[in-house]
Amino acid sequence: MVISDLGMKNQNESVRENVESNQKVAVVTGSSSGIGYATALLLARSGYLTFATMRNPAKGSDLIKVAENEKLPIHVEQLDVTDLDSIKDFMSLVGESAGRIDVLVNNAGYALMGSLEDLSMKEIQDQLDTNLLGTVRVTQQVLPVMRAQGSGIIVNISSGAGRFGLQGMSAYVATKFALEGLSESLEYEVRPFGIKVILIEPGVVKTKIFNNSVVGQAALREDSPYFGMLGNLNATFNALSENASTSDQVAATIIEAISSPEPKLRYPVGEDVISWLETKSIMTDEQFQEYMKNSMASLAPTQG
């Protein structure tokens, strides 16, 4: 849909009026489905003027429909976290229409599956470019706005896989481990400016992440020495999904965290990840690796 200059001006003036009435502003990346979708809705239902961003805004039709039915303050906008020009264009739009950002939720990402040996450098680079560098790009553009305000909250969607390894997902896990270290370091840097950093660490969530995951091309070959492992991984996550957390539960945790006067740095979400982290805290690395191998093996199909 093409919006005329006059239409955009009127829209921006309307948004500005909302912000001037002390309405807080939130930005969510990767809002077309899953955690991003649920978070954008819950933020808007909680009173935030919410910019729900996605690489392809055509995928936001369902979100727009819900927002219209409930009269929610949601604006679906284009933003590709791998494209700095796209991010800068979006920041210009927010600057003109809202003039502030109180909450940034870095959610955009996907899961790359396959053993490290089976993954190409291009596949690994693309994973890092979205999951890690995408967060870096958006955060770097938002920080000057928050510093000028003297306030703001950055919420980075990590994973339980940012705290312990998983076979068949080494590249994905690497991005989440990196995000954990990035966020912890960033917290030290920006806290003096009134900015808070929060890590959300879901376990297995009932989202489309595994349906939308990318599998390394070489990992799909039946002659791969890791081919059986990939099949077991899929079966394991299918089994774990039966009692998994929902996107709404993750979104509720985000609202809880940003509503706290002194939020914690880390918020694990889901009985599975909480159990894994509690177990890891009382075991040596070797004991925990053995525990995880046995736990995953018990969920995978037996070899006939």
> In the prediction, which pLDDT does 297 show?
67
Give the pLDDT confidence of 166-208 residue by residue, as tens digits: 989 999 999 999 999 999 999 999 999 999 999 999 998 976 5
More confident call, 235 vs 109: 109
> In the prediction, which pLDDT does 4 show?
33
More confident call, 295 vs 6: 295
Taking the model in full, what pTM does it have? 0.90
Q: Name the least confident of 16-20, 37-41, 247-251.
A: 16-20
The angle at the Cα of 108, spanning 102 to 113, to the nearest 5 degrees, equals 155
Q: Which residues are catalytic?
A: 172
**Helical (H) or strand (E) element with 49:** strand 49-54
Q: What percent of the chain has pLDDT over 90?
A: 74
> In the prediction, which pLDDT does 298 show?
65
* Mean pLDDT along residues 7-14: 50
> In the prediction, which pLDDT does 117 show?
95
Q: Please, are residues 36 and 12 in contact by the beta-carbon 8 Å criterion?
A: no
* Mean pLDDT along residues 53-61: 96
* Mean pLDDT along residues 33-46: 97
* Mean pLDDT along residues 140-145: 98
Q: Is 238 in a helix, a strand, or coil?
A: helix
Per CATH, the number for 13-299 is 3.40.50.720
pLDDT of 96 over the 50 cut: yes
Q: Which of 276, 59, 264, 20 is nearest to 153 (CA)?
A: 264
> In the prediction, which pLDDT does 12 show?
55
Give the pLDDT confidence of 146-177 residue by residue, as tens digits: 999 999 999 999 999 999 999 899 999 999 99
> In the prediction, which pLDDT does 5 show?
38
More confident call, 21 vs 67: 67
Q: How confident is the model at residue 243 (pLDDT cuts 50, 70, 90)?
A: confident
> In the prediction, which pLDDT does 211 show?
60
Work out the mean pLDDT of the chain and round it to a whole number.
89
> In the prediction, which pLDDT does 295 show?
79
pLDDT of 110 over the 60 cut: yes
More confident call, 10 vs 207: 207
Report the alpha-carbon distance of residue 119 to residue 112 in Å, rounded.
Answer: 9
Residues in CB range of 39: below 8 A, 6 or more apart: 28, 31, 105, 107, 247, 250, 251, 254
The angle at the Cα of 176, spanning 216 to 210, to the nearest 5 degrees, equals 45
> In the prediction, which pLDDT does 209 show?
52
Give the pLDDT confidence of 263-298 residue by residue, as tens digits: 999 999 999 999 999 999 999 999 999 998 887 766
pLDDT of 235 over the 80 cut: no
> In the prediction, which pLDDT does 14 show?
53
Report the alpha-carbon distance of residue 244 to residue 204 in Å, rounded.
Answer: 5
> In the prediction, which pLDDT does 7 show?
43
> In the prediction, which pLDDT does 241 show?
75
